Homo-oligomer: A and B are copies of this chain.
Amino acid sequence: MTLESNNDSHRVSTQRWFARRGEITPAMRHVAAQEELDPELVRTEVAGGRLIIPANVNHMGLEPAGIGAVARVKINANIGNSTVKSDIENELEKLRVSIHYGADTVMDLSTGGDLDAIRTAIIDASRVPIGTVPIYQAAAMVDNPEDLTADLLLSVIERQAKQGVDYMTVHCALLRRHLPLIGTRLMGIVSRGGGILARWMVHHNQENPLYEHYDDILEIARRYDVSLSLGDGLRPGCLADASDDAQFAELTAMEELTLRAWDKDVQVMIEGPGHVPMDQIEMNVRRQKELCHGAPFYTLGPLVTDIAAGYDHIASAIGGAMIAWYGADMLCYVTPKEHLGLPEQEDVRAGIVAHKLAAHAADVARGRAGARKRDDAMSRARADFDWSTQFSLALDPDMARSLFQSAASADCAEDGRACSMCGPKFCPMRGLKDIDWAGKSF
Residues of A within 8 A of B (CB): 82-85, 111-112, 136, 139, 145, 176-177, 179-192, 194-196, 198-199, 201-202, 205, 237-241, 277-279, 304-311, 313-315, 317-318, 321-322, 325, 336-342, 344, 353-354, 357-358, 360-362, 364-367, 372, 374-376, 378-380, 382-383, 390-391, 393-396, 399-400, 402-404, 406-411, 419-423, 425-429, 431-433, 435-442
Contact = CB atoms under 8 A, between A and B. Distances in A.
Given A183-B437, A307-B360, A307-B395, 4 more contacts: A82-B421, A83-B425, A278-B322, A311-B395
A411 B85 contact: yes
Please indicate which of the listed interface residues A189, A318, A336, A372 has the most CB atoms of chain B within 10 Å of its own CB: A318
B394 A308 contact: yes
Contacts of A196: 426, 428, 431
Given A111-B423, A205-B442, A325-B278, A186 B380 contact: yes
Contacts of A201: 442
Q: How many copies does the complex hold?
A: 2
A427 B341 CA distance: 12
A340 B440 contact: no
A305 B189 contact: no
A381 B305 CA distance: 15
Q: Which of A181, A184, A390, A431 has the most CB of B within 10 A?
A: A431
A321 B277 CA distance: 11
A406 B336 CA distance: 12
A420 B342 contact: yes
Given A360-B305, A383-B188, A340 B82 contact: no
